[in-house]
A and B are shown apart, each in its own frame.
Chain A
Amino acid sequence: MRLGVPKELREGERRVAATPDSVKKLTAMGFRVAVERGAGSESGFTDDTYETAGARLADAKTVWGDCDVVIKVRPPKNAEIALLREGATFVAIIQPERDDIITERLAERKASVVALERIPRLTRAQKMDVLSSMANLAGYRAVVEAATNYQGFFGPQVTAAGTMPPARVLVIGAGVVGLAAIAAARALGAEVRAFDTRSATKEQVESLGAKFLTVSIDEEGEGGGGYAKEMSPAFIEAEMALFRQQATEVDVIVTTALVPGKKAPVLLPEEIVRKMKRGSVVVDLAAEHGGNCSLCVPGQTVQAGGVTIVGVTDLASRMGASASRLFANNVVQVLAEMGAGDKWKIDRENDVIRPALLIHSGEVLPRPKPRAPSPSQPAVIVPKDEPAMSIRPRDAPEAHAHPAQTKIQSPTRRAWGTTAGGLIVLAVLFGLGRFAPSDFLQHSTVFILACFIGWQVIWSVTPALHTPLMSVTNAISGIIILGGMLQISTSFDAASVLGALAALFAAINVAGGFLVTDRMLRMFRRDS
């Protein structure tokens, strides 16, 4: 299979669909890779490194026209589609809903087209999910952009010249982007609060060390497919009141709110931006979809009343090298899912590839119904099956960590149990004392006292020595050797033989137990 990697044409796009590392993997998978000259230069990958990695350098015409598979980042331009070899497979972000005729044009080329943004959010497909990996970058970069435009420290400073408080950052929307932004802002030392309509995100927000803001109205914002839905007017009113109040307090606002298929909701109208302190920064990650801030200009950084509003649309591209690496890895995984070079097959039954398969050999396929998300899963813009675990593990809930345990060890219950048990033992002893021979009572006394001593002594044994403890008790329970010895009488009878046998087995215990304990204890040594 020949695989082509063209250069991205769109202005400002630094990413490339394959890196030298991914070329190595693709070559190993059985692809013969052709890379357009200069394809990776914007991201810092020179032509030489591609060549060393096993790629052939070619011009655009060869890359598009001579390859069985073409991989790319951005949707193709008309000129590019025209170059595409008939019947080839094309893998890229397509976004057909933004461009009515792109599907038609690609279908004309009899191509098979995989739209990367439509890879479903299955756990299995997580490694192929370009949206998540790009969103992660964007969230991080948004905070870096905010810090660049903000004129203060993010983290608190204590210097001889005075003490600086930390910057206060509000992140609206806690999907992958929002969570990445929270993590980045926290890492810079800022005090972070976050808001999301989906209460399931609370735990994730808090696990990253941010404060989760809530409104008094109880309404669940969980929509389908891991995104939020539009909220009721009453809720939006309460939300606005919250933002209005927060605007006066915070230094930086990062907005990430998107509702699928709709224009981004306006969360920061002009009146709220006016309330912000001079020198504050708003980073609007929804700029490409109309913006969460009404003053936002997509692709530009503007000033309004002393507030800087950053409306960048190419955050992922600004981190060209890292973005390319992640994107290229995602693409490698997609191609591997499709059978790689040797077992290449466009499988319409494959539950990962099918939803992304826009066109199959020129036939435009209907979009399959998305699978209903399981209601128990908290919805975030991360893959469906494990969002909670992927964010939460660093801070599992302490509060209910050992509930069942406390049930068993409840001190009052234990106290009652001990008391009741003690009373029963006492009653039995009194009963025995009335009838039993004194000899027996004397032995019972010794027995019970010895039990108590053992109980007191053993609890102080360190768990590390439990094995030696067991072997030493093995040895001393070999004291039953006395029983065997006492049974051997001078009249050579059955009892003597049994006694001798008992002594033999007990002697194994005594010798074995003590010696192995000694052997073990010699091994324990302190760190020198």
Chain B
Amino acid sequence: MTHWIPIFAILLASALGAQAIDRTKPPETPPLAAYKLPPVAESTLANGLRVVMVEDRRFPLVTLRLAFSAGSKFDPTETSGLAETVSALLREGTSKRTSRQIAEELASLGANLNTTVSADNLVIGASVLAENAPKLLDLVADLARNASFPEDEIKLRKQNREQELIDARSRAETLAEEKFAALVYGSHPYGRILPTAESIARIDRAALVSYRDRLLVPNNAVLILIGALPPKDQALKLAASKFGDWAKKPLPTPPAAKFPEPKRTLVLVDRPGSVQADIRAGQIAVTRTNPDYFPLVVGNSILGGGSSSRMFLSIREEKGFAYDAHTELLPNKDASMFAAVTQVRNEVIGDAMETLLGELEGMGQAHVKAQELTDVKNYLNGTFVIRMETQNGLANQLSMTRTMGLPESYLEMYVTRIRSVEPEQIRNAAKKYFTPGDATIVVVGDAQKLAKPLEKFGAVIVEKSKP
């Protein structure tokens, strides 16, 4: 009986070839395949450093992350910008290498290295030609453990950062993001997305060294290695040889997760001469471990996740108010921030605000449509798989899950959890997090043109933009 299966397959194939395909309809395709995470090997060294390894031999490349739970939330208020200054200066000199030696060594190894700081984490990220992976590991260990913060490098960094901040604040979107985070997160450090020039000026070498010694420690870190690695035990031995004798330390307590209650607020940041109004409306929301999180992710995507989202279709395609209309859900470890974002021409500010708030409200009223829900689940599922195609994509996800304290199954389960979200859960989440009545609204633009038409949306607090 086995023979007729291949015959059947051949018949089918020839039918497909011979038949005049109906070009007026999109082709039928199978449902998305189940996502399978590649095997992840995880160990912990005696000093608490977690080592995560994934074998990937597609390219002669190794990608690395050394991620610390040491983000800007640990910055003292008076020296905000401390974490980012530590991060920027890690590559500017160690007890063994000068800044220039580090730069030249990286280029010679075929390595690309970045250090980044978010609210929760400080991450050294790099990729390197596979044959040079051991040398890169040696270099990264040196940066993390022996950064020496030379005085002349500190001075240069502070000077340049001052100019970068002036430049950043000459952009409307920065002003909107900054004001919005400050209102949503209140006095919690999550509310400071950029330091001030004054706080940068107060940072000195002692503060940098102390930050390094308290937070850049092995039991606060995870090392991720992806790529054409040596066999697992050898790779682990290599990691241990570079990081094994690094002393473990007690860790400082992060700031308490206390945030203000959401409250309808409307702030207009005056940027004279702006030809557009940058709008940002939203509120504080839950973290990845809360049961509301996945309904929120799906709802967020239906509302503003792509070019078939509700906001894109109404604000851009139907009304032509804006080029960009989207939503963001930015999950920090202790709270996330939801925002609906668009930039509209000055003349339509009133209509655009009404449309935007109407879309927010609509999510909490009727159930999302079945097709809309299926499409968005596919979108989130597919784009997740696409993001995982590169070593960087996988490294970022592994680094995120490990530093955010998420269960090891998080990535493997991500698609399943997206798929299981029900319309009622989305409506409930929308009522909690998309409510116009609780929304913090920030508009950045020319106050002379915008203040009046905004009045019908509540008391407008006008603030000056400080360059």
Do these two chains really belong together in a complex?
A: no
A-to-B contact residues, CB < 8 Å: none
Q: Which residues of B contact A (CB under 8 A)?
A: none
